Amino acid sequence: MTESWATFGADLHLDLAAGRGLRAGLTEALREAARSGRLAPGTRLPSSRSLAADLAIARNTVAEAYAELVAEGWLTARQGSGTRVAERARPRRAAPAPAAARVRPPARRGPAYSLISGSPDLGSFPRAAWAAATRRALTAAPNDALGYAVDARGRVELREALAGYLARARGVYAEPERIVLCAGFAHGLMLMAKVLRARRVRDVAVEGYGLDIHRDLLTEAGLRTHPLRLDGAGARTDELPGTGAGAVLLTPAHQFPTGGALTPRRRAAAVDWARTTGGLILEDDYDGEFRYDRQPVGALQGLDPDRVVYLGTASKSLAPGLRMGWMVVPDALLEEVLAAKGHTDWTSGAVEQLTLAEFIRSGAYDRHVRGMRMRYRRRRDAVVEAVSERASVTGVAGIAAGLHVVLDLAPGMERPVLQAAAGQGLALEGLSAFRHPTTDLPAREAVVVGYGTPPDSAWSLTLSALLSSLP
Amino acid sequence: MTESWATFGADLHLDLAAGRGLRAGLTEALREAARSGRLAPGTRLPSSRSLAADLAIARNTVAEAYAELVAEGWLTARQGSGTRVAERARPRRAAPAPAAARVRPPARRGPAYSLISGSPDLGSFPRAAWAAATRRALTAAPNDALGYAVDARGRVELREALAGYLARARGVYAEPERIVLCAGFAHGLMLMAKVLRARRVRDVAVEGYGLDIHRDLLTEAGLRTHPLRLDGAGARTDELPGTGAGAVLLTPAHQFPTGGALTPRRRAAAVDWARTTGGLILEDDYDGEFRYDRQPVGALQGLDPDRVVYLGTASKSLAPGLRMGWMVVPDALLEEVLAAKGHTDWTSGAVEQLTLAEFIRSGAYDRHVRGMRMRYRRRRDAVVEAVSERASVTGVAGIAAGLHVVLDLAPGMERPVLQAAAGQGLALEGLSAFRHPTTDLPAREAVVVGYGTPPDSAWSLTLSALLSSLP
């Protein structure tokens, strides 16, 4: 921490009691600030000249007050390092109360390695390119971009950049007018849950395997979830007519977590169901950018932009910490989505929206995705090859795309493998953690290997830990 | 827009129909993309080499498909500018439907000048310093800062920087553990409204003059608002015991919009009421950094950190577009606030949180606030001096701090002055717009002059427009 503020003129708030001499009041105020811990031990005080100017009093008054407190031991003064609150001054307030302590996350003594799915390699975030895009975006931004948002959809610069990108790379029909920016996929799903409840929808079909936090989010919004069966060809959308659902949440490009791509026949079945019943399809295109051996699988939204709400995110292609997502919304639904979002725009800040727009426009986004695709593909190849000889692994699924694969295990092996992984200091999830609680799919023993997660520097040790966990 | 993506390898999604010749399939897919408008006229296609590599087909196949579509008129090829979608290719989709058009904000043919309160001078946002702080913050950030948030309070780096700043400059008792970051004041108020409703609070006292959007936010959360009377010494907190309210929303440092600072006696009355009844004080410290002639007025929170929820924001000190706010929460309330915030963190992205932390730590925040304080003070002086001779102005209130003053007007003058301002192309608000609908305060005719709003370049013309509107 650079403590340059004394030089540059920092603010120091002091309650000068009324009706006392200036010097006495200032002395007491400083003493109280040090005694109470409001000014932490070691804090550097403004120079007497600077504080005197702030308070519009004589510099000598400040110097005398400082001297008195140094004499009392509350402050220390040393040539060259200025006047500071003495280290022995102890704060009034006790340590944080138990309530606060309980909500504090546990100290990070977690596993040494992680293959938990759902994260990109954060070590490869293009920091320098992102900072450069921020600088360019800020240079070009109009003043009003920094003001209160006037459009609940988010900045038009980013919606235009995304419209071009999504059409080109993901086969999405996306006009900027129908794009609504949000703070990641979960935020978009929450908005859609609100819209569905406002339309009096009660039931949403989901995939038999999926993320519990997404199911919980729907449940908390007052919706019931109904699991569709699924197989290597994705969710059984032919079951939709029997569910009574008003909407379905799908991961068509790469089923999460089992890894299949929804087949053309099943895509058609989903769209037919939506057209016949007036239902909505929520398309979670979480890792559509990352496909390897096969023909790219376009977004389902291209089949019927009036019945599909497309949801995308920068969480896998760049980093979840950006809190940046987007929805492409059917015309007829736009007003409802914006009403759910509300006047107060919780979207990411304007600077990050403008930065991502510049990042896409300049080609840096394509460049980053392409580079990551090659890295992830090498990691996938390494996993697939390394486990090919393991007796416990009966199959590898979902290898064509994404940032994870599913290793099917011999019966009874999921729990022992997870325990062995924990013993190796490796965070790893079993497939059963993703199973919908009421699905009648046969139990499947497998582990989900999020090979995208480790930084490059930890990759080979992480892979070794995985192999050591697999008999 | 730099179209460098063809060089760097852009993604182009194509649906190649199965069971057809590769070249025929590619040709049809490109034709359909151009015909349907998915690829906008003018879009530059990847080079044939790059697309061939993407699709793992022969370059010649791509080149032949391109040539065929050029012959058909769907594409154009020109030396040096590559292959593009022809301008005459017309999109399939019609213009956005009326629904979408309605929600689009009207074209900005608004007033030429604005003295609407609530915004800082966006033209003075420290763009270069902010971009530099982003670069430094990104360089220093640990990888996991870019991942999913593990602490619903927000990044610890920013909470630590804020704790030091708020203690020093605003007299707030703020440990990083009790700071919760949010996306601006309104987000924080919404979280507190949820907490109050969960505690079965039904009634909240508010100031007789205030922002309607804050009152509406409380009302939409299911709370009733009760106006306190107020005068030049702030809100009449001695009225609190009669309201039956479970909480009170106050602007102690600088009443918004009437401009008084809550007196020590009234501060004590608010705290006494809170201690006696178990009520909560929500302190909106929206512009506490900006004070001019008088002794700085510290935060009310310093009087009783267990009964006051302190809410601050970067919206006035830096820019609303950052969507950055913070709450300092009593220990006993922390878990409830985090439960209201939810697992899914809508806070500003990690990069902006880290940037603000670095901005504060490096001294840039103090430097910016100090510089803006001098500019705003000069503007305030200019307004006060300029209106001193106007017959229609009977008083000037709230001049000691903040980014606005209130000009009291002779009876019957508020509406004519606002009309004259509109005629001058000047956006200006009357005080009556801020009046609580059920307050029994006597009507007060005045205009609220947000002198912080104009960029420097527009300041003198804006002031002239104001003067021309005042008889």
Chain B CB within 8 Å of residue A265 CB: no
Q: How far apart are CA B469 and CA B465, in angstroms?
A: 6
Which residue's structure tokens are 């919004």? A221
Tell me the chain A residues in contact with residue B367 when contact means C-beta distances shorter than 8 Å. Answer: 8-9
Q: Which of A171, A331, A362 sits opposite B2 (nearest CB)?
A: A362
CA distance A320 to A376: 17
Backbone angles phi, psi at A78, to 5 degrees: -135, 140
Q: Which of A14, A128, A322 sits opposite B349 (nearest CB)?
A: A322
Residues of A in contact with B295 (CB under 8 A): 16, 55
Would you list the DSSP string of A20-38? S-HHHHHHHHHHHHHHTTS
- What are the C-alpha distances in Å from B62 to residues A14, A289, B17, B450, B470? 73, 22, 15, 60, 70
Residue in A with minimal Cα distance to B324: A349
Peptide bond connecting A98 to the previous residue in cis, omega within 30 degrees of 0: no
The alpha carbon of B255 is separated from its chain's Cα centroid by a whole number of angstroms, namely 20
**Binding-face residues of B in 308-367 toward A, CB within 8 A:** 315, 319-324, 331-332, 334-335, 338, 343-352, 361-363, 366-367
Q: What is the largest CA-CA distance in chain B?
A: 86
On whether the CB atoms of residues B359 and B214 are closer than 8 A, the answer is no
Q: For B55, which residue in chain A has the nearest alpha carbon? A: A295
A38 touches chain B (CB under 8 A): yes
Is B264 an 8 Å CB contact of chain A?
Answer: yes
The residues facing A204 across adjacent strands are: A225, A247
Does B381 contact chain A (CB < 8 Å)?
Answer: no
Of A57, A134, A179, which to mutate for an interface test with B (greatest number of B Cβ within 10 Å)? A134
Closest residue of chain B to A167, computed from CA coordinates: B38
Secondary structure (DSSP) of A326-383: EEE--GGGHHHHHHHH-SS--SPPHHHHHHHHHHHHTTHHHHHHHHHHHHHHHHHHHH
Contact A331 B97 (CB under 8 A): yes
Q: What is the pLDDT of residue A108?
A: 47
Residue in A150, A175, A321 nearest the CB of B147: A321
- The reply to whether residue A335 touches residue B102, judged by beta carbons under 8 angstroms, is yes
The chain-wide mean pLDDT, for chain B, equals 87
Structure tokens at B321: 């577009």
Using one digit for the tens of pLDDT, what is the confidence trace for A174-183? Answer: 999 999 999 9
Say whether A302 and B15 touch across the interface (CB within 8 A). yes
Is the confidence at residue A379, as pLDDT, over 80?
A: yes
Residues of chain A in contact with residue B320, where contact means CB-CB under 8 angstroms, are: 146-148
Interface of B with A in 160-199 (CB under 8 A): 164-165, 167-171, 173, 175, 177-178, 183-184, 186-187, 190
B24 at interface of A, judged by CB pairs closer than 8 A = no
Which of B134, B175, B320 shows the shortest C-beta gap to A148?
B320
Residue B155 is predicted with a pLDDT of 94
Question: Which residue carries 């006035």 as its tokens?
Answer: B316
Bridge partner list, B427: B114
How is residue A80 annotated by DSSP? Answer: T
Q: Which helix (H) or strand (E) holds A207?
A: strand A203-207
Q: Which among B93, B103, B146 has the least Cβ separation from residue A125? A: B146
User: Which residue in A14, A100, A264 is closest to B334 by CB distance?
Assistant: A100
Residue B1, pLDDT score: 31
Q: Tokens representing B216?
A: 């509406």
Nearest by CB to residue A99, choosing from B101, B167, B331, is B331
CA-to-CA distance for B299 and B267, rounded, in angstroms?
A: 10
| A177 contacts in chain B (CB < 8 Å) | 96, 100-101, 104
Chain-chain contact of A321 with B349 (C-beta, under 8 angstroms): yes
Picking from B100, B175, B350, the nearest residue to A321 by CB comes out as B350
pLDDT digit string, tens, across residues A392-426: 999 999 998 999 999 999 999 999 999 999 999 99
Report the residue from B13, B361, B370 with minimal CB separation from A169.
B13
* Cα nearest neighbour of B40 on chain A: A164
User: Does A78 touch chain B if contact means CB atoms closer than 8 Å?
Assistant: no
Q: How far is A113 from chain B (nearest CA, A)?
A: 13
Query: Hey, which residues 290-309 in chain B have their CB within 8 Å of chain A?
Result: 295-296, 298-299, 302, 305
Is a pLDDT exceeding 60 seen at residue A186? yes
> What are the tokens at B137?
């913050």
Cα–Cα dist B107/A260, whole Å: 46
Helix axes A48-55, A59-72, angle to 10 degrees: 120
Going by C-alpha positions, the residue among A158, A161, A400, A168 that lies closest to residue A298 is A168
pLDDT of amino acid B60: 83
Q: Which of B171, B344, B367 sits opposite A13 (nearest CB)?
A: B171
**What residues pair up with B406 in beta bridges, in sequence order?**
B397, B448
Residues of chain B neighbouring A39 (CB-CB closer than 8 A): 167-168
pLDDT of A19 reads: 53
3-state SS assignment for residue A239: helix
Q: How far is CA A342 from CA A152, B118, B220, B286, in A?
A: 7, 19, 11, 22
**CA pseudo-torsion sign B420, B421, B422, B423:** positive
Least CB–CB distance from A134: residue in B134, B139, B345: B134
Query: pLDDT per residue over A2-42, tens digit each?
Result: 322 222 345 677 766 555 577 777 887 887 777 777 777 77
Residues in contact with A190: Cβ distance below 8 Å, sequence separation at least 6, in sequence order: A217, A221, B344
Q: What ipTM, to 2 d.p.?
A: 0.81
Answer whether A257's CB lies under 8 Å from A291's CB.
no
| A339 contact residues in B (CB cutoff 8 A) | none
What tens digit of pLDDT does each residue of A285-342 get? 998 889 887 666 789 999 999 999 999 999 999 999 999 999 999 999 999 999 998 7
* Cα dihedral B415, B417, B418, B422 sign: positive
Q: Would you say how long chain B is, in residues?
A: 471
B10 or A51: which carries more pLDDT confidence? A51
* Reduced 3-state DSSP string for chain B: CCCCHHHHCCCCCCCCCCCCCHHHHHHHHHHHHHHCCCCCCCCECCCHHHHHHHHCCCHHHHHHHHHHHHHHCCEEEECCCEEEECCCCCCCCCCCCHHHHHHCCCCCCCCCEECCCCCCCHHHCCHHHHHHHHHHHHHHCCHHHHCCCCCCCCCHHHHHHHHHHHHHHHCCCCCHHHEEEECCHHHHHHHHHHHHHHCCCCEEEEECECCHHHHHHHHHCCCEEEEECEECCEECHHHHHHCCCCEEEECCCCCCCCCCCCCHHHHHHHHHHHHHHCCEEEEECCCCCCECCCCCCCCHHHHCCCCEEEEEECCCCCCHHHCCEEEECCHHHHHHHHHHHCCCCCCCCHHHHHHHHHHHHCCHHHHHHHHHHHHHHHHHHHHHHHHCCCCCEEEEECCCECCCEEEEECCCCHHHHHHHHHHCCEECEEHHHHECCCCCCCCCCEEEECCCCCCHHHHHHHHHHHHHHCC
CB-based contact A423:A440 (threshold 8 Å): no
B382-416: b (≥16 Cβ within 10 Å) or e: ebbeebeebebbeebbbbbbbbbbbbbbeeebbee
Interface with B, mutate which of A1, A7, A8, A44 (most B CBs under 10 A): A8
Q: What are phi and psi of A139, to 5 degrees?
A: -65, -40
Number of CB pairs, chain A paired with chain B, less than 8 A apart: 302
Which of B128, B143, B347 lies at the smallest CB-CB distance from A455? B143
Measured in residues, chain A has a length of 471
Contact A184, A320 (CB under 8 A): yes
β-bridge pairing B446-449 and A429-430: unpaired
Q: Which of residues 120-139 of A touch B (CB under 8 A)?
A: 122-123, 125, 127-128, 130-131, 134-135, 138-139
Pairing of strands B82-85, B113-114: unpaired
Phi, psi of A15 (to 5 degrees): -90, 100
Under-50 pLDDT residues of chain B? 1-9, 89-108
Q: Would the CB atoms of B7 and A363 count as touching at under 8 Å?
A: yes
Q: What is the pTM of this model?
A: 0.82
Interface of B with A in 397-426 (CB under 8 A): none
Flag if B151 and A343 touch (Cβ within 8 Å).
no
Which structure tokens are listed for B469? 């509107």
B-chain CB neighbours of A184 within 8 Å are: 344
Closest chain A CA to residue B292: A54
C-alpha span between B409 and A16 (Å, rounded): 35
Q: In this complex, is the C-beta atom of B233 within 8 Å of any C-beta atom belonging to chain A?
A: no
Whether residue A127 is predicted with pLDDT greater than 70 in this model: the reply is: yes
Q: Which residues pair with B231 in a beta bridge?
A: B234
Select from B2, B3, B8, B13 the residue whose CB has the most chain A CBs within 10 Å, as the one to mutate to test that interface.
B13
- Is B344's CB within 8 Å of A186's CB? yes
Separation of alpha carbons A64 and A59, rounded Å: 9
Side chain identity at residue A120, one-letter code? P
Contact A13, B295 (CB under 8 A): no
Percent of all residues in chain A with a pLDDT value above 70, rounded to a whole number: 89
Q: Whose structure tokens read 């479970």?
A: B246
pLDDT in tens, A208-237: 999 999 999 999 999 999 999 999 999 999
- Residue B440 in tokens: 């029994």
CB contact under 8 A, B349 and A323: yes
Give residue B378's identity as a one-letter amino acid code.
Answer: R
